[in-house]
Structure 1
């Protein structure tokens, strides 16, 4: 019997060759799974997502996070799968992440906060970063739709406060432009920019458009606008930053370039490593998860956290002498390995070992058994 390529793909997706089972995990008592090889980890996670509810996968190796994103979606295209990427900067770097990364991060955090994901994949080191609290996203995200009345001056101000950059031609997330009765904007978390045509102060049409040709593509009814940064920069946030800066960093703040830049509403490169100063409290990725979400710790998470902290302390020691960029202590910016694993106790947890995981159990119940 000959089976075409499409038939083989269908068989693989339906997992006719294996059945997957794992004891239902309970909070505070991780379920350990023996080593998996190749893409069997993605297949297992795809099947567990159908029975265990929302899943957050923390990968010891960052490339595994992207791989699992793609493979889980392949095994079950119906699953809503997102990835929370790293900033792709080293701790205390004096430059900021690319806007596309910030856009993807904000989109994923928003979807998590709305309970709209089945699976999220997160590099372990990314999960150690302290984040803006969920109420920041809720308070700085707004919606508008066709037919609504728009106060153009107030809208322009809201875009500026949300961190959007005014440009002559919109080509990247986080940008906007005004041309008479036409507003172009590229919301964070969106794959396409939008063009608003106004009739007096009413939104007459909303269309997506192509950044290369600048031609309109198709109409939409509404738009969601996420903030353009992972921190606010309005008057209240600047006041909070100044207060927290004076409380956290010794010396005369008026002589610090960073302090003066923020006071003038300028976000300098590398400002992300001062994020806690913009808030009364920071959050962690666990604050964005749906209660009862199942956690999967993939690979040698303890080893990854230990290496991250060793490298971060070394960089802090190396760079702390710059008077223009006084550094926050690592404890103010990142979770320790102990804090991370304590936070996992509130959720059902599966420790999913890979063949390369040091000390991975070599025997015991295996989730992949013949059908």
Structure 2
């Protein structure tokens, strides 16, 4: 990874020390500053941002700067060579008191993050401030419903099926999503929460003969594994004890006949109705907060107007509560049962050593925003801005989103006399001897650091990096998307999503009313044009 010398901050704060401030950093330099802080810290670093989108962009950038894009095993999990784990605790991405539950992949990522905190004493934990305000299940819920399967273990199919159902997994014909399982003879397929791939458990009588990760789309084996940890499928327990606790607390909290409420009826039947997460406090005798999961020596980094963002969140919660609280067939819990108030939250943060990054600016002596390097297909020399940057004495690191995009970018740049050297990962870059390189990463904004510039693909073509979130059943291969028309020539085959394969015929100017616009022309069989 890139080590800044001298560091941006002279010494890191410790518990009880005054809040330190980093100001005048360009916004694009914030991920680099956090990577620098985390690499020098011997503690877990909790990073708080204003919005969910900010958290995901920061995770992507930190993977690049810390050199972790290439440290994944066949299952997409960290292979153990990562010195600074990056843990993302996502928001539910639902409105307060919504009548639907978070996506299974979000729940999976949340449960994985919370389970990792038990053993995580150094690394990065990244989340939006409103996620910190959510009350959480107590740690014993995760610890009590987590179990490990190992090749050679005794495995009674009927018993384990019941245990999966009690943990919130549901039976299907074919496993595709987190929280699903399927039984076929002496084989049990399950998609564990927190795992990148589903797992196939093959039995010989009552013994686990093999554990294999497989592709949910092709159902083909990817790799063998020796053991796997199964986390609960939900943040609430649908066990007999959990349901009994829910029913008792319901009677203590709400008036009226519970038989009139579908939430109560579904939970009593062992089902998880949509939006049941907003009744989580009824399943436990006490709730936790994220502070109950954090090590005592945790350091925090606060980015942006967090107090204002949290107050806005509480305003939305109050508005939703007042509009929904009068439905007797669907009573809801008071906001304080579900969320931590602003004053209480910042009071809990106070004892931790904290750094605040505020007032993003462009006037930093070492870290500067990337100049305009847009690839202009209409110019005489489309790569003129890139060449100007290189001629100024700056070494340049081009960042492509994938291996396929790297090859396309290399071909495009070579057409215009720019030939960067392919680099396995950013941490291998040597600016003093490599004037231009290209590597992989999901980086949204570039930056100029001392004597070199980092140029992400998004700033070459003037578009944002797509956020890597949930696995989709039918994905479009991003390697194949045409980012800029300069990548293709007249006569090249091109695929339209709705109309199929045709041949690119260039741009055609068409007048529509008082407006004149350019349109892409694609020719199909028998001279048909689109």
| TM-score using structure 2 length | 0.64
2:50 equivalent in structure 1: 60
SS in 1 for 2:222: strand
Aligned-residue offset at 1:256? 2.3
Residues 18, 370 of structure 1: 8 Å contact kept: no
Give per-residue Cα distances to partners, 1:126-175, cap 9 Å, x unaligned.
11110101111111110010011112221111100000010110111101
Shift of 1:71: 1.1
Aligned pair partner of 1:73 in 58, 63, 66: 63
Please give the residue correspondences for 1:152-231 in structure 2 after superposition, counting only pairs within 5 Å: 152-231=157-236
Q: Which of 283, 290, 294 is 1:285 aligned to?
A: 290
State how far apart, in whole Å, the 2-side matches of 1:303 and 1:85 are.
20
| Greater RCO (CA < 8 Å, at least 6 residues apart) | 1
Q: Does 1:251 align with 2:256?
A: yes
Deviation at 1:38, TM superposition (A): 2.8
Q: Deviations over 1:229-277 (max 9, x none)?
A: 0110111001110111111112232332221211111111110111111
> Structure 1 residues 164 and 117 mapped into 2: Cα distance closer, same or farther (>3 Å)?
farther
| Separation in 2, partners of 1:292, 1:109 | 17
User: TM-score normalized by structure 1?
Assistant: 0.90
- CA distance in 2 between counterparts of 1:178 and 1:246 reads 38
CA RMSD across the alignment: 2.3
Q: Deviation at 1:116? A: 6.2
Q: Are 1:58 and 1:124, in contact at CA under 8 Å, matched by a contact in 2?
A: yes
Q: 1:53-103 CA deviation, whole Å, 9 max, x = no partner? A: 210101023322111111112111242112111111000010111101101
1:346 equivalenced with 2:351 (yes/no) = yes
Q: Residues 128 and 315 (structure 1 numbering): CA distance in 2 closer, same or farther, change over 3 Å?
A: same
- The alignment partner of 2:160 has SS state of helix
**Deviation (angstroms), 1:215:** 1.3
- Once the two structures are TM-superposed, the CA of residue 363 in structure 1 deviates from its matched residue by 11
Instruction: Give the C-alpha shift of residue 17 in structure 1.
Output: 7.2
Structure with max Cα Rg: 2
Distance 2:367 2:345 in 1: 26
Q: Which residue of 1 aligns with 2:314?
A: 309
Whether contact under 8 Å (2:88, 2:126) holds in the other structure is yes
Contact 1:33 1:367 in 2 (8 A): no
Tell me the matched-pair count. Answer: 354
1:306-352 deviation digits (Å, cap 9, x = unpaired): 10111110110011122221010101100111111011123111112
Partner Cα separation in structure 1 for residue 62 and residue 10 of structure 2: 17
43 and 49 in structure 1: CA distance in 2 versus 1, 3 angstrom threshold = same
Deviates more, 1:341-350 or 1:99-108: 341-350
| Distance change >3 Å, CA 315–CA 16, structure 1 → 2 | closer
Instruction: Report the counterpart of residue 296 of structure 1 in structure 2.
Output: 301
Distance 2:330 2:21 in 1: 44
Matched, 1:89 2:91: no
Q: Is the 8 A contact 1:176 1:183 kept in 2?
A: yes
Residue-by-residue CA offset, 1:171-208 (whole Å, 9 max, x unaligned)? 11101111111111110010001111100000011111
CA distance in 2, matches of 1:294, 1:133: 22
In 2, the alpha carbon distance for the partners of 1:217 and 1:267 equals 32
Deviation at 1:51, TM superposition (A): 2.0
Tell me the residue number matched to 2:130.
Answer: 125
Distance 1:200 1:332, change over 3 A: same
Unaligned runs of 5+ in 2: 68-81, 369-448, 452-530
Q: 2: CA distance between counterparts of 1:169 and 1:317?
A: 42
- Contact 1:82–1:117 (CA<8 Å) still a contact in 2? no
SS at match of 1:32: strand
**Separation (CA, whole Å) in 2 of partners of 1:289 and 1:354:** 28
Please show how residues 240-279 of structure 1 align to structure 2 within 5 Å.
Answer: 240-279=245-284
* Counterpart for residue 105 of structure 1: 110
Instruction: Give 2:13's aligned residue.
Output: 25
Q: CA 1:32–1:220 in 2, change beyond 3 Å: closer, same or farther?
A: same
Q: Which secondary structure does the structure 1 equivalent of 2:347 belong to?
A: helix
Q: 1:49 aligns with which of 38, 42, 48?
A: 38
Compare the two structures and name the one with the higher helix fraction.
Answer: 1
